[in-house]
């Protein structure tokens, strides 16, 4: 009985203990559910300074999946305050419970809303209240009061923004130098300040800068509205007043596109200075405490001038810089009227090459519309880093054209403040008349002669002379009637050849006649072409021989024309040698100098050797 009583008491104690545990779990669950919906307000630790961003965070925890909370500031921020955000982040937690063999799982999601507050003047500001909305419920979150003070320029830090001159021109490439200096006794302090450096200036939001490829491992980062702008930088060190001064400088290329005056453009930089150092678990030196540091440079003022419109040449197409040049090459120098000529124009120089356009070729002297056909659309160039190339197809419209004339290219030199013009070298051309194919040029069969002539030609087996062709066979007038002789028809078939053998023989004879005719015609054509070729080469030889008695300019022109005709008429083995002689003759034609007579004799002798070699070729 005692044992039973003890068991009963124990059972009762267990029962009350179970009830107490259940109540505790329920209360914890209720507390967890209530605590999950709490909202917390947090802000960055002070002090706060003008221009220094301050982070505000509002945390709501314990929301269920599917909840989409929102948070915003009630009303507008105070004057002098800029509020950015919120930036939303979330994290989730899960709880698993097993009661009486039943498993239940609960998921809780926490949301964090981050705002950035920046003051542009010193004073006391109240930021808030905020409004949190979730599950169709609106809750108000109290804000906080901030005291912003003015951060004075730190004597250990300097920032500078410089231009080489106070007046620039639209399209001019202007180097802009940013220089940051920091004084410290130890190099880790400089590295810590550089890693937290932020440089700002409206200049980098108002103008366009070239983006050169990175070549250095050190870069200055400029904060802009579009993000960080990195530029290559150089690091130098020097001692000033017994302290280490580290200077980091970088240069960007400014390309203004609109004229106007720009005055008092500020530049500032902010960073953090270490006030106390510590050691990590691994013995590394780490910053334990730091303070913000500010430096403002001398404001920048300059003027962007427009390109002058007075005395602007027709060949100016927006190039700004110095030492520009233009080179033109053609894919052919012997053409007929109307044939396309592909011109490649290469522009080089120091300036805005990537933005250079091609001047209007029809405005160039010597390339008028009655001599050349020039496309009306603007040619799109390609820039390879050192030059900009344009490709244009032109057509010669007049046989009197003897050259691609020099092409003008003009630019504006900001240093001289005036326009400059250069020219390409001319390209000699030989223009022949257009070859028109008429009815007389069509190859046709000669008129058929009498049947006797045709039969005679076939019987003799000889090819017709002149322009007659052995393929001009005709059966006009031939008697193709069926045999009517009864004796012949009644004769013994065995005494005659079989019809099949006769047919084979006739077909073979016809094939032999056709083959013989084709061979005879080919031989006649070859003989004719060979004869014409020899006559032409003899004429070229006489032309070269007579050139020796002409003045140097006329002799060089005659030699060049003879070689062009030689090259155009047939393929020769020494084509490169012929082209070289032609080029030397063209140089003499366009620029005659002393000693050219002897050069002309040598070129004439070399040209005669080429003609003789061509005559010996089969």
d(CA 608, CA 602): 10
pLDDT digits (tens, 9 = 90+) for 350-398: 998 888 898 888 888 888 888 898 888 888 888 988 899 999 999 998 8
Query: Cis peptide leading into 47, omega within 30 of 0?
Result: yes
d(CA 414, CA 410): 13
Query: Domain ranges in the chain?
Result: 35-149, 157-304, 323-432, 528-616
Architecture of domain 323-432: Sandwich (2.60)
Instruction: Supply the pLDDT for residue 66.
Output: 80
pTM above 0.75, yes or no: no
78, pLDDT greater than 80:
yes
Higher pLDDT, 464 or 177: 177
What share of the chain has pLDDT > 90, as a percent? 31
Strand 167-169 to 300-305 pairing: parallel
pLDDT digits (tens, 9 = 90+) for 508-562: 888 888 888 888 777 766 567 777 777 888 888 888 888 878 888 888 888 888 8
Question: What residue has token string 């301050």?
Answer: 54
Pick the CATH number of 157-304 from 2.30.30, 1.10.10, 2.60.40, 4.10.640: 2.60.40
d(CA 358, CA 352): 13
d(CA 279, CA 249): 31
pLDDT digits (tens, 9 = 90+) for 235-288: 999 888 778 899 999 999 999 989 999 998 889 898 999 988 888 888 788 888
- pLDDT band per the 50, 70, 90 thresholds, residue 346: very high
| Cβ burial, residue 116 (10 Å; 0-12/13-18/19+) | middle
CA distances from 281 to 108, 285, 358, 617 (A): 35, 10, 66, 91
Q: Tokens in use for 395?
A: 């057509």
Instruction: Supply the pLDDT for residue 83.
Output: 93
35-149 and 323-432, same CATH topology: yes
Q: For the chain, how long is the longest CA-to-CA vector?
A: 160
CA angle (403, 406, 411) in 5-degree steps: 160
32, pLDDT greater than 60:
no
Strand 227-240 to 219-224 pairing: antiparallel
Instruction: Supply the pLDDT for residue 490.
Output: 60
Pick the CATH number of 35-149 from 3.40.50, 2.60.40, 1.20.120, 1.10.730: 2.60.40
6, pLDDT greater than 60:
no
Radius of gyration of the chain (CA): 49
């Amino acid at each position: 009985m005692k044992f039973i009583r003890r068991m009963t008491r124990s059972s009762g104690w267990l029962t009350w203990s179970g009830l107490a545990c259940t109540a505790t779990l329920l209360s914890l669950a209720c507390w967890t559910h209530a605590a999950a919906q709490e909202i917390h307000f947090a802000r960055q630790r002070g002090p706060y300074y003008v221009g220094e961003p301050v982070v505000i965070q509002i945390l709501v925890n314990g929301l269920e999946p599917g909840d989409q909370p929102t948070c915003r500031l009630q009303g507008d921020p105070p004057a002098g305050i800029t509020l950015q955000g919120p930036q939303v982040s979330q994290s989730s937690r899960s709880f698993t419970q097993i009661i009486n063999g039943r498993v239940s799982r609960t998921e809780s999601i926490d949301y964090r809303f981050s705002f950035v507050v920046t003051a542009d003047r010193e004073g006391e500001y109240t930021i808030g209240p905020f409004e949190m909305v979730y599950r169709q419920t609106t809750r108000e979150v109290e804000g906080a009061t901030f005291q912003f003070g003015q951060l004075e320029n730190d004597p250990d830090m300097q920032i500078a923004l410089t231009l080489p001159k106070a007046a620039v021109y639209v399209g001019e490439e202007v180097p802009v130098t940013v220089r940051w200096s920091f004084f410290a006794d130890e190099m880790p302090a400089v590295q810590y300040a550089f890693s937290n450096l932020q440089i700002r200036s409206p200049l980098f939001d108002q103008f366009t800068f070239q983006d050169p490829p990175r070549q250095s491992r050190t870069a200055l980062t400029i904060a802009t509205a579009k993000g960080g702008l990195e530029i290559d930088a150089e690091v130098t060190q020097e001692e000033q007043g017994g302290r280490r001064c580290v200077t980091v400088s970088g240069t960007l290329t400014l390309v203004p596109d609109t004229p106007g005056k720009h005055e008092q453009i500020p530049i500032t930089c902010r960073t953090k200075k270490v006030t106390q150092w510590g050691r990590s678990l691994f013995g590394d030196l780490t910053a334990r405490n730091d303070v913000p540091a500010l430096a403002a440079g001398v404001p920048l003022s300059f003027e962007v001038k427009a390109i002058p419109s007075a005395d602007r040449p027709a060949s100016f197409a927006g190039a700004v810089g110095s030492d520009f040049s233009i080179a033109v090459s053609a894919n052919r120098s012997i053409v007929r009227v109307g044939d396309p000529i592909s011109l490649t124009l290469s522009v080089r120089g120091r300036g805005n090459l990537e933005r250079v356009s091609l001047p209007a070729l029809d405005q160039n002297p010597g390339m008028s519309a009655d001599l050349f056909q020039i496309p009306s659309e603007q040619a799109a160039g390609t820039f390879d880093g050192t030059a900009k190339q344009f490709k244009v197809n032109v057509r010669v419209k007049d046989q009197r054209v003897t050259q691609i004339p020099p092409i003008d290219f003009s630019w504006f030199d900001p240093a001289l403040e005036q326009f400059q013009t250069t020219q390409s070298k001319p390209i000699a051309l030989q223009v022949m008349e257009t070859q028109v194919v008429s009815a007389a040029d069509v190859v046709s069969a000669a008129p058929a002669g009498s049947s006797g002539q045709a039969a005679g030609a076939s019987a003799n087996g000889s090819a017709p002379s002149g322009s007659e062709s052995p393929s001009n066979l005709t059966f006009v007038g031939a008697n193709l009637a069926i045999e009517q002789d009864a004796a012949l028809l009644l004769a013994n078939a065995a005494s005659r050849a079989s019809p099949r053998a006769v047919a084979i023989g006739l077909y073979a004879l016809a094939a032999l006649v056709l083959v013989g005719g084709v061979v005879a015609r080919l031989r006649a054509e070859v003989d004719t072409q060979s004869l014409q070729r020899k006559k032409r080469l003899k004429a070229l030889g006489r032309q070269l021989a007579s050139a020796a008695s002409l003045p140097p300019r006329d002799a060089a022109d005659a030699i060049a024309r003879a070689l062009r005709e030689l090259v155009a008429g047939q393929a020769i083995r020494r084509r490169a040698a012929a082209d070289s002689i032609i080029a030397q003759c063209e140089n003499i034609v366009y620029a005659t100098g002393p000693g050219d007579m002897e050069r002309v004799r040598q070129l004439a002798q070399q040209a005669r050797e080429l003609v003789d070699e061509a005559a010996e070729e089969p």
